[in-house]
């Protein structure tokens, strides 16, 4: 039944990668059962005991997957596809409660050494709060700490999703219980590179777990970026002179034309000067490093470099404050990282990755989303 479900899913969705946890069979049996899916590459982990565990990862040779490490609970990989690369960990959470914390600690060790894009998916065999459970006795709040700590420490967030997220159904004593044991998550860097990434929970079929499918990218038309005035320019004498000259060039023309000409002038000036505070920061960092390591440098020179570096940091912070729209914070707060993360989050929120029509049907592609919106207003 499960193999038939996979064949049907493969025909309709054609996933580039398939991951199965708890195969409960030796590798040869699993490969024989799945050969009908016609994947060219595979990585399998045999069950740790009779009828318990087992992992299978299948993909096509068009995708490069490097196996970094493996055990009975996860396969850790490095994936390269379509000119981009990221880490991906495919998880089967430890069924025994007493051993789960050890698995989260192993994964935390991996995550703390990764600033690059990182994606995780699979059966985590754990939930993060009571909203991810229905039926049976209530769980104490302290029982969620280990998974929450792992996610927080490694900067991990659940992907946006559709479908019923209560992905597992079972019976505990006289109670039917539903839990969100299966999920897909990523760190912030992965979300930046795949801002349209999302997952979908499919119906139960042949298993007590719902399949979960993750879509990495949507092909969207590239739109022309909006012009936004950079506050860092307000005290720049060159820009002030530039705006004044372009504004007064024709005293009788419409205001809209004046504004447009000033905008174009600022854009051209910015490109010419390569106004980028990050570059300035790196420049002053290098100067400071040289000054601090040079035996002949005097303290006044180091103080001046430090002051220039401080100004560059303030300029960068002010830039990200404007981008993030968090106007309730003062410019003096040393929180550039917060502003940067807030901008990432706003970009993700502003994107349409899925929409439902009046009949409850879901659409994901851009032209489908536009059609649903147009038909609604018509």
**What are φ and ψ of residue 56, in 5° steps?**
-140, 130
Instruction: Encode pLDDT of 193-203 as tens digits.
Output: 898 899 999 88
Q: Report pLDDT for 335.
A: 56
Q: Report pLDDT for 351.
A: 62
Residues 106 and 251 in one domain: no
Ordered DSSP codes for 316-358:
HHHHHHHHHT-TTS-TT---HHHHHHHHHHHHHHTS---EE-T
Instruction: Let me know if residue 366 belongs to a domain.
Output: no
Instruction: Let me know if residue 377 belongs to a domain.
Output: no
Q: Report pLDDT for 244.
A: 92
Q: How many domains does the chain have?
A: 2
- Write the CB contacts of 177 (distance below 8 Å, at least 6 apart in sequence): 133, 134, 135, 136, 169, 170, 171
237: domain range? 231-333
- Rounded Cα distance between 344 and 43, Å, is 34
Half-sphere exposure of 66 (CA within 13 A, CB side): 8
Instruction: Encode pLDDT of 114-162 as tens digits.
Output: 889 999 999 999 999 999 999 888 899 989 999 999 999 999 999 999 9
Instruction: Let me know if residue 89 belongs to a domain.
Output: yes
Domain with 61 in it: what CATH number?
3.60.10.10
Split the chain (378 residues) into runs of 10 and give each run's mean pLDDT: 60 82 89 88 88 88 93 96 92 92 94 92 95 91 92 93 90 86 94 90 83 79 63 82 89 86 86 68 80 72 83 71 52 55 59 78 82 90
Residues 37 and 94 in one domain: yes
Residues 147 and 7 in one domain: yes
Residues 143 and 11 in one domain: yes
């Amino acid at each position: 039944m499960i193999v038939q479900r996979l064949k049907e899913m493969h025909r309709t969705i054609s996933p580039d990668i398939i991951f199965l946890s708890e195969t409960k069979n030796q590798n040869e049996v699993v490969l024989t059962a799945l050969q009908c899916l016609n994947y060219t590459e595979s990585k399998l982990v045999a069950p740790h005991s009779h009828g318990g565990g087992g992992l299978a990862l299948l993909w096509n040779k068009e995708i490069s997957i490097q196996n970094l490490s493996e055990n009975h609970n996860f396969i850790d990989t490095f994936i390269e596809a379509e000119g981009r690369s990221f880490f991906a960990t495919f998880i089967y959470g430890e069924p025994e409660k007493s051993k789960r914390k050890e698995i989260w600690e192993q994964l935390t060790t991996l995550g703390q050494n990764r600033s690059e894009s990182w994606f995780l998916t699979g059966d985590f065999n754990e939930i993060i709060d009571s909203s991810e459970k229905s039926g049976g006795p209530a769980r104490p709040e302290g029982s969620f700490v280990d998974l929450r700590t792992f996610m927080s420490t490694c900067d991990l967030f659940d992907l946006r999703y559709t479908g019923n997220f209560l992905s597992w159904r079972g019976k505990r004593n006289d109670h039917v219980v539903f839990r969100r044991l299966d999920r897909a998550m990523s760190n912030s860097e992965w979300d930046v590179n795949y801002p349209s990434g999302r997952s979908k929970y499919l119906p139960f079929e042949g298993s007590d777990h719902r399949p979960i499918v993750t879509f990495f990218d949507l092909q969207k038309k590239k739109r022309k970026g909006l012009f936004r005035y950079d506050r860092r320019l307000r005290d720049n004498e060159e820009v002030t002179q530039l705006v004044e000259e372009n504004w007064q060039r024709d005293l009788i023309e419409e205001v809209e034309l004046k504004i447009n000409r000033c905008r174009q002038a600022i854009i051209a000036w910015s490109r010419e000067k390569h106004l980028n505070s990050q570059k300035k920061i790196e420049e002053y960092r290098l100067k400071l490093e040289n000054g601090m390591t040079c035996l002949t440098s005097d303290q006044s020179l180091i103080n001046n470099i430090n002051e220039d570096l401080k100004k560059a940091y303030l300029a960068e912070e002010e830039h990200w404050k404007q981008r993030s729209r968090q106007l309730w914070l003062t410019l003096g707060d040393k929180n550039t990282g917060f502003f940067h993360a807030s901008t990432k989050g706003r970009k993700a929120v502003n994107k349409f990755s899925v929409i439902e029509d009046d009949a409850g049907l879901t659409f994901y592609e851009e032209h489908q989303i536009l059609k649903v919106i147009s038909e609604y207003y018509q």
